[in-house]
Structure 1
Amino acid sequence: MLKRPEKRPSLEQTKAAKSLLTIRILGSGNAAQVPVWGCHCLACERARRDHSFRRGPCSLEIRTELGTTLIDAGFSDLAERYDFEEITRIVLTHFHMDHVQGLFHLRWSERAQKIPVFRPDDEKGADDLYKHPGVLDFQAPFIPFNTVQLQDFSITPLPLIHSKITLGYVIEKDDFTFAYLTDTVGLPDASLAFLRNKTLDCLIVDCSEPPTPTAPRNHNDINLVLWMYNTLEPRQMVLTHISHRLDCWLLEHKEGLPANIKIASDGLTIYQSTEFSSGRH
């Protein structure tokens, strides 16, 4: 029997396929993660009882028609979460170990194909990643405020305030714009000015600590993110890089936050434009 030829997609279907975008929190925790080893606070005990409250290394997944972009690679089991062909590229915010430790396993693949890794201008990197990159193809460092048009979206790196050279990112695809700002304590003036000229559909931002009398070192507290919320006026804000201390505070104060500020959790889908297969994870 002759097979009927496959029906070609319509122009509208083709356009829809080109606009695929899903943004998902992979990990929402700080370096200690939740539960913290040896801690018996309310948040850590809750996470031991109910794994939906566990927080892994802070990281993000962006899925488009071309595949998956990872922002940071803190999970050590990325090879179990993704097939080699799924990962289009990896974008690093900085080289602290809780954001890059997953690369040390991935790099040993014996595939001939390389995975591009975009990065800030940190000549030290982490351990011997530059010396023995394996399948990781480290690209020339991003230039702050220089928008790069990738095949499926544009990305603009923004300097952040951290103990290591760190970049946040504004990512734009079709009519959706979001910023991913971790790790940082406040914002440099130039980055703040850039963001004030953007209409942000979503701002995903570091919030490691409950309100503190003085600004914490390296990471935002609730006071700082509320200031960012009022200053930048995103349509939605999502708090990530969360410590067990903030989780304890949220147990009593979460209802006091503005309605369109969400608390990240591992696996949380922030935005999805079109339904499509999510692979093995």
Structure 2
Amino acid sequence: MKCTFLGTGTSMGVPVAGGFGREEIGNDPRNQRTRCSVWLETDQSSIVIDVGPEFRIQSIRSNIRRIDLVLITHEHMDHIAGLDDLRSYNYAQQNPIPLLTSQRAIDSIRTRFDYMFGEKKYPGSTSLSMEVIDTPETFQDLRITPLPYNHGDIDVLGFRVNDFSYMTDVKEIPDSTKDKIKGSKVLVLSGLRWGPQHPTHMTIPEAVEIANEIGAPKTYLIHMNSYVNHAETNEKLPDHIRLAYDQLEIEV
């Protein structure tokens, strides 16, 4: 399975609109981060996890030609704002795109994008076939396991897809979910910043601690803010933990 990190930035992206905050951009393009999304490809399947505000640009940049399935972690706009950009795939594929997520996220999507559904459906708008995933499912050549965890006041879903586990916007992970992750060859975790602690996100040191506990051979950190310099951070991290960056491609 090939994994492409389409975006690796926090909810505001990096750099932040208006230049607020301490930007650590420099001349390293890895410090420019669009909102988090990942594309997984196998011989049979092409799926994406989350579709944020820059999804159109991300999909063009990575030449995504087909989307068989969308997985949504939660309903915050940095994870769903690109749903409208999926309509071009509807035109090409001539079918609604299956989408798996929580019931709460489905309810939110139907409210925010009401013009895509039911009697209000606008002609030509994105067509989705949304279903709840709360137990492991098989999709083509993929085994997809939902990974519930805490993001502050809400519970959200990560996903284990075969031996790849992806969790963004993480604050706390229950032991039952850690058990489902163990055995993964690649783990992806959010690590917002070095510090101070955040009420709804893990810091980089907290993410490193969890990664070491789970014990995946390779862990990649995502959802970094503008205070995180790519090269400087990688120098501080253990060899088996790296920062991901936009358009990074790995094999799982």
Q: Deviations over 1:150-205 (max 9, x none)?
A: 10210100112114441011111xxxx1210112112123212333xx31211110
Secondary structure in 2 matching 1:170: strand
Supply the distance in 1 between the matched residues of 2:64 and 2:166 (Cα, whole angstroms): 25
Matching residue's letter, 1:232? I
Matched, 1:151 2:133: no
Secondary structure in 1 matching 2:39: strand
Q: Are the counterparts in 1 of residues 85 and 126 from structure 2 also a CA contact under 8 Å?
A: no
Matching residue's letter, 1:140? E
Structure 1 pair 97–223 and aligned structure 2 pair: CA distance change class (3 A):
same
Fraction of identical pairs, as percent: 26
Q: Are the counterparts in 1 of residues 190 and 224 from structure 2 also a CA contact under 8 Å?
A: yes
Secondary structure in 1 matching 2:112: coil
Q: Which has the larger displacement, 157-166 or 97-106?
A: 157-166
Structure 1 pair 39–201 and aligned structure 2 pair: CA distance change class (3 A):
same
Structure 1 pair 246–82 and aligned structure 2 pair: CA distance change class (3 A):
closer
Q: Are the counterparts in 1 of residues 169 and 200 from structure 2 also a CA contact under 8 Å?
A: yes
Structure 1 pair 82–29 and aligned structure 2 pair: CA distance change class (3 A):
closer
- Partner of residue 209, structure 1: 193
Match of 1:184 among 125, 149, 170: 170
- Partner of residue 39, structure 1: 20
Q: Are the counterparts in 2 of residues 119 and 138 from structure 1 also a CA contact under 8 Å?
A: no
Supply the distance in 2 between the matched residues of 1:131 and 1:185 (Cα, whole angstroms): 33
Q: Which has the larger displacement, 225-234 or 25-34?
A: 225-234
Structure 1 pair 223–51 and aligned structure 2 pair: CA distance change class (3 A):
closer
How many pairs align? Answer: 237
Match of 1:166 among 156, 159, 166: 156
- Partner of residue 64, structure 1: 42
Matched, 1:142 2:159: no
- Partner of residue 2, structure 2: 22
Rg larger for: 1
TM-score of the superposition, structure 2-length normalised?
0.83
Supply the distance in 2 between the matched residues of 1:210 and 1:131 (Cα, whole angstroms): 41
RMSD: 2.5
- Partner of residue 231, structure 1: 213
- Partner of residue 242, structure 2: 262
Supply the distance in 2 between the matched residues of 1:183 and 1:136 (Cα, whole angstroms): 27
Q: Are the counterparts in 2 of residues 117 and 136 from structure 1 also a CA contact under 8 Å?
A: no
Secondary structure in 2 matching 1:124: helix
Q: How much has 1:53 moved relative to structure 2?
A: 2.6
Supply the distance in 1 between the matched residues of 2:65 and 2:231 (Cα, whole angstroms): 40
Q: Structure 2: which 5+ runs fail to align?
A: 118-124
Secondary structure in 1 matching 2:212: helix
- Partner of residue 89, structure 1: 69
Q: How much has 1:218 moved relative to structure 2?
A: 1.5
